[in-house]
C-alpha cells in the first residue's frame, strides 16, 4: 500500500467506528472517563530554606496529574482540597496504595531478567510473594534480599511524609 492510498483509507468512513460500535464499547467498558487523574508524591525545592541554610533543601508534596483522554497534553498541579474533593475516588486509591505498597520483584538487587521471568512463571509478582514462598536453592538468596527490602520499606514507612493539603 502506497502512502496516498493509506492516507485516503484513513479518511474513509470504513475505518472509523460508527454509533453502534461506540454504544457497544460503552456497554462493555463503560463511559470514557472525562479526565485521567493520578495523584503522586514528588519533591520540590524550598528556596527560602535553601537560601537560609546555604545548601539545597527539598520537601515532598502531593501533586495531581490531569490529562484528557483525547489529548496528549497534560497538566500537573499541587494537590489541594479542591482537587481531592473533585477526584475523591482517585484520592482514595492513592491513599490505599501509599498504605500498602506492592513492591515489584524487579526491585530485588542484582536480579537478572532470567530470574525475574522465573519468578513470574512461578506466580510471584511482589517481594511479599517471594518472601512467603518456599524457593529452590538457587533462588534463596533473592528471598533474603526481598526480606531486606521489605524491612527497609517498613522502616521508611515509620518516617513516611505527612500529607498535608
Query: Domain end: 99, 120, 142, which one?
Result: 99
Query: Domain end: 68, 99, 130, which one?
Result: 99
Distance CA 148, CA 49 (A): 34
Q: Are residues 82 and 118 in the same domain?
A: no
Q: Are residues 113 and 94 in the same domain?
A: no
**What pLDDT, on the 0 to 100 scale, is given for residue 52?**
94
**What pLDDT, on the 0 to 100 scale, is given for residue 164?**
46
**What pLDDT, on the 0 to 100 scale, is given for residue 20?**
77
Q: Are residues 42 and 93 in the same domain?
A: yes
Stretches where the chain sits below pLDDT 50 are 12-15, 161, 164
Q: Are residues 118 and 83 in the same domain?
A: no
Q: 6 in a domain, yes or no?
A: no
Total domain count for the chain? 2
What is the domain range of residue 154? 105-158
Q: Are residues 118 and 95 in the same domain?
A: no
Query: Domain end: 82, 99, 116, which one?
Result: 99
Q: 2 in a domain, yes or no?
A: no
**What pLDDT, on the 0 to 100 scale, is given for residue 105?**
85
Q: Are residues 35 and 91 in the same domain?
A: yes
Q: Are residues 117 and 81 in the same domain?
A: no
**What pLDDT, on the 0 to 100 scale, is given for residue 8?**
55
Q: 95 in a domain, yes or no?
A: yes
Q: Are residues 73 and 127 in the same domain?
A: no
**What pLDDT, on the 0 to 100 scale, is given for residue 69?**
75
Question: What is the pTM assigned to this prediction?
Answer: 0.54
Amino acid at each position: 500500500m502506497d502512502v496516498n492510498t493509506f492516507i485516503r483509507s484513513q479518511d474513509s468512513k470504513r475505518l472509523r467506528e460508527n454509533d453502534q460500535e461506540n454504544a457497544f464499547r460503552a456497554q462493555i467498558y463503560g463511559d470514557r472517563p472525562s479526565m485521567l487523574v493520578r495523584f503522586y508524591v514528588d519533591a520540590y525545592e524550598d528556596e527560602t530554606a535553601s537560601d537560609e541554610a546555604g545548601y539545597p533543601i527539598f520537601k515532598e508534596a502531593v501533586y495531581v496529574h490531569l490529562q484528557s483522554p483525547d489529548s496528549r497534553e497534560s497538566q500537573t498541579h499541587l494537590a489541594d482540597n479542591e482537587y481531592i474533593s473533585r477526584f475523591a475516588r482517585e484520592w482514595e486509591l492513592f491513599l490505599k496504595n501509599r498504605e500498602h505498597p506492592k513492591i515489584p520483584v524487579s526491585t530485588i538487587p542484582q536480579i537478572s531478567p532470567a530470574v525475574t521471568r522465573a519468578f513470574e512463571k512461578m506466580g510471584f509478582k511482589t517481594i511479599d510473594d517471594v518472601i512467603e514462598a518456599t524457593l529452590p536453592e538457587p533462588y534463596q538468596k533473592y528471598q533474603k534480599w526481598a526480606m531486606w527490602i521489605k524491612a527497609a520499606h517498613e522502616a521508611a514507612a515509620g518516617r513516611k511524609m505527612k500529607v498535608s493539603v
